[in-house]
Amino acid sequence: MGADAGADAGADARADAGADTREAVPLTAFPSTDDEVAAFARSLGLPGYLDVHVHLLPEALQQAVWRYFDGLDDPPWPVTYRADEEARLRALRDLGVVAHTALAYGHRPGVSAWCNEHTLAAAEAHAQVIPTFTFFPEDGVGAYVGDALGRGGRIAKVHVQVGRFHPDDPRLDPAWGQLVDAGVPALVHAGAGYGVDGGDQWCGPDGVRRLLRRFPDLRLVIAHLGAPDTRGFLALAEDHPGVHLDTSMMLTDPPYLDAVDPDLLPRYAALGAKLLFGSDFPTIPHPYAAQVRGLAALGLDRAGLRGLFHDHAARLLGLPAADATAEAGAGRGAAVSER
């Protein structure tokens, strides 16, 4: 995706993406290294990034996930941000990420409420962490989803491939119903992606469409553009007012797995507020800059990038948008990194 086009651009060109115009922000303005990532957001007039796809698993679960990824070999998946939780939160702040989710998920019954205790406590302790919770088709799901919403939960995470259930499993009805009533979205991993062993039969747009027929007011964020069925999930996002896509692990520069079909790029760009920035930090096989830089391929102007990197998700989650805070954006870097 044009990795070489910006190789000769100087740091000066990257430090300032210029004033607002309808022109696409050029690849040369995008960061090449993590050191340049925070400044790029500020150059757009943002306080920083809102990353909808960050994992914050309980430590034992995080270690188990990393052991699993360490075993992948076709291709290998070297974990770039392997560190303890405090160091990972600091790394995100240093990257200019001012708000992010805390995605965790259970792979069997009895794990979700334990995950929620971890992620909601992290949100209570750290202003950058958006209160995030998960659920699983099991007894008591309605009660602990109610508890999570009562603790300020703003977004849920559901992983149907790891959890091996259909999104419209009737045991989840009490959870989905409460999300609709609260206006709280769910980020759903619904594609049979690389990095998970099996579970394909639970994945794909059909189960999500069935869910939306029963809960038409539900708001969803489909992880990883829905890969590998990017076309199916793109069509779903275009059709359905409540369906958003997150960019995590997709549209990176360079691409990790298959590059997104260039024919689809104008359609992703046209999604507007339904396309949200996400990275899959910390278990990613590339520097964070690769995710930010890859999104240059969408050809968005400065306003479009402010939406993608921050405001679209802020509005979905009921958080302040940069439009209201842009005037404070230029001077906020120091304050943000001290939080």
Contacting positions for Zn ion (CB under 5 A): 280
- Least distance between Zn ion and beta carbon 225 (Å): 12
The 8-class DSSP code of residue 45 comes to T
CB of 69 to Zn ion, least distance (A): 11
Which residue is closest to Zn ion by CB? 280
Residue 43: CB minimum distance to Zn ion, A: 28
The helix or strand, by DSSP H or E, that contains position 8, with its residue range, turns out to be none
Residue 223: CB minimum distance to Zn ion, A:
6
User: Smaller CB distance to Zn ion: residue 138 or 280?
Assistant: 280
In the complex, minimum distance from the CB of residue 280 to Zn ion, in angstroms, rounded to a whole number = 4
Each as own residue / partner, the long-range contacts of residues 315-323 (CB below 8 Å, 24 or more positions apart, any chain) are 315/273, 316/185, 316/219, 316/221, 316/244, 316/273, 316/276, 317/50, 317/130, 317/154, 317/155, 317/185, 318/154, 318/183, 319/50, 319/99, 319/130, 319/154, 322/45, 322/46, 322/47
Instruction: CB nearer to Zn ion: give 253 or 280.
Output: 280
Nearer to Zn ion, 280 or 311 (CB): 280
Of 168 and 280, the one with the shorter C-beta distance to Zn ion is 280
Judged by beta carbon, residue 17 or residue 89, the one nearer Zn ion is 89
Give DSSP secondary structure letters for 183-217: T--EEEE-S--TTS-S-GGG-SHHHHHHHHHH-TT
Partnered with residue 157 across adjacent β-strands are 134, 187
